[in-house]
Chain A
Amino acid sequence: MFVDKKITETHHAQSPADTAIGHVANTDHGHHIFDVEFLSYLSTKISSFFGISENSMFFINLGITKHVFVLLFISTLMVLSIIGLIRNYISHKNNIPNKLMSVVEMFVVYLKDDVLENFIGKNYREWASLIYTIFFFVLFANISGLIPFFDLLGLFGKLGNNELLSNLSHGGATITANANVTFAIATITFVAFIGAGIKKYGFIQHWKNLAPSGLAWPLYFVVVPIEFMGLFIRPLALTLRLAGNMMGGHIALVIFITFIFSMADSFGAWAGFGIAPFSIALAVGLTMLELLVAVIQAYVFALLTAVFIGMAINVDH
């Protein structure tokens, strides 16, 4: 148990803030974990079609970075596990849910009773599949961010000098801490709640429903812009809420851990040892909190989607 000078020196090169950002951020766009020839060919073709140069910020990059890889992995895992579980459950005659199935059932029933029936109303079945999909996707993504499998892979990669594994290192991958991912989900919500209103009331009546009828006419100059802005603020708030929550939690977690190294840096190795029990205890507690937040944020995303769809469908004025 001896902290070698070399270790503290290598950590000196990276400030705690850099480590924290590396933990939540995606890999660089020029830094793919898999090099798929076809995808990079396609990216250059599409970008040059729109007249975007290679070095531009708007370069359309289809390469597989860390977050894209995790996104694909989680989606596959989610679809296979959830569909497999439910198929298995339905096909059995005696209908006794196994352990995993009872967890899924708990979430499904809770969402149905508390969210769907309350906010969407009697015809909740129409939108149930969308809301369940959003809930389980966000849940899987949030929880997978708490499992440090990339750190472990990165460690093995450093030991064996494997290029693929060391590309995967620097931190876990909470894809929901990436605002691009949450914005994509929020866009689905945005399309869904506009589509829900249009489907129920027709195109023109839906837009009329946005502003309450029966006000004195000068008020419409105030109400209509506010409602219109609200329309776009809703998906934006969804995006930032999820991304901010996940990113904030993970940055706090990493900063608690890097306390050890910054103390060791400035006051010597023994200060690092001294602070380690406290910062690890805090980090463990914070991880428990993050587990709670992961489920709550998935619930919140599903809840708000249901609320917005319900607002478009049940117009009560």
Chain B
Amino acid sequence: MGAGLAVIGAGIGIGLIGYGVAQAIARQPEAAGEIRSQTFLLAILVEGAAILLGLLSLVL
């Protein structure tokens, strides 16, 4: 149950990031490299929270 909720949250978060990235690259294709590395960072942070909660729900 907790793991499912964590996945829903992370899914929405990463989806929003992906949406933003696709739009940003479409507008400025020359900045793709820079945008990609920023994306990685954001996606990692969102995913980190999800894993933390998933693990917590596994332990508790």
Residues of A within 8 A of B (CB): 114-115, 118, 237, 240-241, 244-245, 248, 300, 303-304, 307
B44 surroundings in chain A (CB, below 8 A) = 241, 300, 303-304
> Could you tell me if B48 and A307 are in contact, using CB atoms closer than 8 angstroms?
no
Task: Say yes or no for B41: interface residue by CB 8 A criterion.
Answer: yes
Instruction: Check if A240 sits within 8 Å of B37, measured CB to CB.
Output: no
Q: In the complex the two chains form, is B55's CB within 8 Å of A240's CB?
A: yes
Q: Is the interface of A mostly helix, strand, loop or mixed?
A: helix
Chain B contacts for A115, CB-based, 8 A: 37
- CB closest chain-B residue, reference A304: B44
B41 interface neighbour in A241, A248, A303, Cβ under 8 Å? A303
- With a CB–CB cut-off of 8 A, which chain A residues contact B52? 237, 240-241, 244
- Closest CB-CB distance, A52 to chain B, in whole Å? 25
A237 to B37, CA, bound (A): 19
B40's closest neighbor in chain A, by CB?
A303
> What is the interface of chain B mostly: helix, strand, loop, or mixed?
helix
Given known A-B contacts A118-B34, A237-B48, A244 and B41 have beta carbons under 8 A apart: no
Q: Say whether B37 contacts A244, CB under 8 Å.
A: no
Q: Which single residue of chain B is at the shortest CB-CB distance from A301?
A: B44
Give CA–CA (A303, B36) in the complex, Å: 13
Contact A244-B34, Cβ < 8 Å, known A237-B48, A303-B41, A304-B44:
no
B51 nearest CB neighbor, chain A only = A244
Q: Closest chain B residue to A297 by CB distance?
A: B44
A41 → B minimal CB distance (Å): 35
